[in-house]
Amino acid sequence: MEKQWYVVNTYSGHEESVKERLEMRTESMNMQDHIFRVIIPETTEIEIKDGVKKEKKKKMFPGYVLVEMVMSDEAWYVVRNTPGVTGFIGSSGKGAKPTPLPPQEIDRVLLNMGMSRMDIESEMAVGDKVSIIDGPFKGMEGTINNIDLENNRIIVLIDLFGQETSVEVEPYQVNKA
């Protein structure tokens, strides 16, 4: 089983407390190998009031939290029974497991937040083989030559017209081969 992203419905305004409770339950119930990240999709908006600029966080989907997890009976039970959670999106109810978000959907949401589906630091390393899944080099395979954490970029060496060429891609544009 692989980890995927799921949308969890919460009581509106309780997203932060659901996130905290779910992270605590994951820790206390030893589910770190099933439940990985809990994210509240937010964007930062700049508001000008009385000539003063202020940054304000705005929820992209009020009443929803994104959970990266491996869907198992235990993980489903932990998330579903977290106080404040009303259910999963994409589930018919009656104990049915929900359907995960398609990769392109989660990529779009995470990109708006300046994040990536992959945790570059822990999931990728120099020398790893990757497939490019988006952009002008889509369909090509290569080897990671450098990881620029500061700028959230990966330098991949690909074979272009018989020559090894380095291309710069964003984390959402590659999958481990």
Each domain of the chain, given as residue ranges in start order, spans 4-117, 123-176
- DSSP-derived secondary structure letter, 167: E
167, 154 contact by CB (below 8 A): no
User: What is the Cα–Cα distance from 36 to 117, expressed in whole angstroms?
Assistant: 11
Structure tokens at 32: 């770190």
Structure tokens at 75: 């993980």
Query: In the CATH hierarchy, which top-level class contains the domain 123-176?
Result: mainly beta
33, 103 contact by CB (below 8 A): no
111, 99 contact by CB (below 8 A): no
User: What CATH code would you report for 4-117?
Assistant: 3.30.70.940
Q: How much is the pTM?
A: 0.70
User: What average pLDDT values come out for the chain (177 residues) when binned by 10 residues?
Assistant: 89 93 94 92 85 86 93 92 91 78 82 70 82 86 87 86 88 78
Structure tokens at 63: 């009443």
Q: Provide the b/e sequence for 62-101 (b: ≥16 CB within 10 Å).
A: eebbbbbbebeeebbebbeebebbeebeebeeeeeebebb
**pLDDT at residue 65 in the model:** 95
Structure tokens at 30: 């030893």
**pLDDT at residue 108 in the model:** 79
Q: Which amino acid, residue 6?
A: Y
**pLDDT at residue 138 in the model:** 87
Apex 27 CA angle, 22 and 33, nearest 5: 95
**pLDDT at residue 93 in the model:** 67
**pLDDT at residue 116 in the model:** 67
**pLDDT at residue 154 in the model:** 87
